[in-house]
Amino acid sequence: MARKLPKVDVVIVGVGWAGGIIASELTKKGLKVVGLERGKERKTEDYFMVHDELRYALRYGLMQDLSKETITFRGNERIRALPMRQYGSFLLGDGLGGSGVHWNGQTFRFLPYDFEIYSKTVERYGKNKIPAGMTIQDWGITYDELEPYYDRFEKLAGISGEENPLAGKRSDKYPTPPMKKSPPLKMFEEAAKKLKLHPYMMPSANLSESYKNPDGISRAACQYCGYCERFGCEYGAKADPVVTVIPVANKTGNFEIRTHSNVRRILKKGDKVTGVLYTDVTTGEDIEQPADIVVMTSYVFNNIRLLLMSDVGRAYDPGSGKGVIGKNYAYQVIKGNAVGFFEDKEFNTFAGAGSLGMVLDDYNGDNFDHSKVNFIHGGMVSLSQTGMRPIQNNPVPGGKPTWGKEFKEKSVKYANRFLSVAAQGSSMPFQHHYLDLDPTYKDAYGDPLIRITFDFEEQDRNLAKFLAGKCETVLKEMGADHIDTMKELGPYDITTYQSTHNTGGVIMGSDPSTSAVNNYLQMWDYDNLFVIGASAFPHNSGYNPTDTVGALAYRAVEGILKYQDKGGQVV
């Protein structure tokens, strides 16, 4: 029998970006909030020895311990899903701050097209442009409606950037100027301009200068140390929940964080949820935390897994396309890239920052005419300089050999003489791509793992090839002596790192029959349950997801306060 604790106003499941934003805003309004975090406490001093590629990038020092919990994966329903035993395709965050600690800080708004993707695609190209099985739908919110929340997140984090000429309208400029322009970025910019494209500096959560945010939090400027993605920031220059929203919530005296608390069930009674059941992983004790409002803010996979294990919401059925929990799992088409080798130039590419880069969106969203291509949407094309750490960056022209005398000679020669131009392709949902509970494999507590059924489609293969060609064109213009370009996307492979941008499964919308949450991320079926994160995306855009997650979290804050005030559905 679980020990039952006194009821609180709000309980949050997972304290990363979404949980931190909810906590800081609600506690400022005087609500009593408990944050349950299954990982450990984190603080900036933890990163004293962070410039350690082996420990953090290769041994995944900050990531979830897969021996306790992983996911299972299969390409389609005809084969047996098997556990992801080792890390590869994506990296699951863990501990206070979650994935918000080990991100690069690339902070993009989605395009106006994204939020009305179905209507706008049909309007411009007709219904037949959407292939059978592709389940794109409008988000139930427009860019203009979400814009003020983007602005709030960007001011919270102090995003450094300049206007993107091909994006939605901004109500205000970025709070800090763009980062420094390195020589490779300048080469990319010049080449792109010659090609009549529209390059701009990547919006960055690695501060270009010291910044004090509206909550009164001051942070230092980025030092371009080259250890960002997979690492925590030793300076607090990279915005993360631990150095921004969590201290604000703590200061109110209304926030209690319980680390090592693994939530295992959402509890419900009738059409309301009543709290959560969690295990204190240090003692093994089961504890019940009742609450008036439950806010789920863990990573995509765990949001869905908890709902399905708790039998909360209508589980998705890929056969009929009915049901919503687990629907529209999407990812990112990230392999459409080109690598250029330079004989006579050397670069300081050992230096860098997670979001030091230049981007162009001429091939993103519906910024170009799709009538002659056999895919929809697109992706951003960028050159980013995130720090070329030596274990993971040893390309040689042509990709061969991979060992021996010639490999060593060439990989050493080109160590500071190659640049990648990379595309981040959008990912469209399909009826047969989804998340559900695995029938066989369990976590350390005996609960089922989440199962991913996903593969690349014709849409993705065409998109990747198209984008790779564009990357190659830019590199040619940049003067590369040898260029290796992706030829074929191939099947989705969970063993090679691509992107930790997993999306969907608890998607938002305006129709309860095709979406799980409304545009305040309130569950249609349970008025006092809010589910926040990239799990709400009906598809994934050709950008990094965090800005949109942050914006939706601010939107949800408003929804929670409305619910607290009046009850019922807030839309």
C-beta of 184: minimal distance to another protein in Å?
A: 10
Residue partners of 350: CB distance under 8 A and separation at least 6: 226, 387, 388, 389, 416
Binding residue for another protein, selected from 1, 6, 30, 80, defined by CB under 8 A = 80
102 included as an active-site residue: no
Q: Per-residue x/- marks for another protein, 163-182, CB under 8 A?
A: -----------------xxx
Of 43 and 193, the one with the shorter C-beta distance to another protein is 43
Of 226 and 326, the one with the shorter C-beta distance to another protein is 226
In the range 201-230, which residues lie near another protein by CB under 8 A? Answer: 210, 212, 215-221, 223-226
Binding residue for another protein, selected from 183, 318, 321, 469, defined by CB under 8 A = 183
| Residue 308: φ, ψ to 5° | -70, -40
| CA distances to 170, 396, 457 from 148, in Å | 9, 46, 35
In the range 462-501, which residues lie near another protein by CB under 8 A? Answer: 491-495
Of 194 and 212, the one with the shorter C-beta distance to another protein is 212
Binding residue for another protein, selected from 169, 196, 372, 405, defined by CB under 8 A = 405
Q: Distance between CA 297 and CA 14 in Å, rounded?
A: 5
Can you tell me which residue has the tokens 């997140």? Answer: 153
C-beta of 55: minimal distance to another protein in Å?
A: 8
In the range 6-45, which residues lie near another protein by CB under 8 A? Answer: 43-45
Stretch in the footprint of another protein (CB under 8 A) among 49-57, 194-202, 280-288, 357-365: 49-57
Stretch in the footprint of another protein (CB under 8 A) among 65-73, 104-112, 462-470, 541-549: 65-73
* CA atoms 520, 522, 523, 526: torsion sign: negative
Of 88 and 318, the one with the shorter C-beta distance to another protein is 88
Of 40 and 59, the one with the shorter C-beta distance to another protein is 59
Q: Distance between CA 492 and CA 544 in Å, rounded?
A: 19
C-beta of 360: minimal distance to another protein in Å?
A: 20
441 binding another protein? (CB under 8 A): yes
Q: Distance between CA 527 and CA 112 in Å, rounded?
A: 28
| DSSP character at residue 109 | P
Can you tell me which residue has the tokens 């469209």? Answer: 428
Torsion angle, CA of 515/520/522/524, rounded to 10 degrees? -40
For residue 429, give the nearest of 517, 502, 513, 525 by alpha carbon. Answer: 502
Of 341 and 363, the one with the shorter C-beta distance to another protein is 341
C-beta of 419: minimal distance to another protein in Å?
A: 12
In the range 291-350, which residues lie near another protein by CB under 8 A? Answer: 345-348, 350
Q: Distance between CA 376 and CA 88 in Å, rounded?
A: 28
| DSSP character at residue 395 | -
In the range 379-398, which residues lie near another protein by CB under 8 A? Answer: 390-391, 394
281 binding another protein? (CB under 8 A): no
| Residue 340: φ, ψ to 5° | -110, 135
For residue 267, give the nearest of 564, 13, 552 by alpha carbon. Answer: 13
Tokens matching residue 220: 């230092």
Catalytic residue chosen out of the listed positions 102, 377, 433, 501: 501
In the range 408-427, which residues lie near another protein by CB under 8 A? Answer: 408-409, 411-413, 415-416
Can you tell me which residue has the tokens 């220059």? Answer: 237
Report residue 541 CA to chain centroid gap.
11
Binding residue for another protein, selected from 352, 425, 538, 550, defined by CB under 8 A = 352
Q: Which residues are catalytic?
A: 501
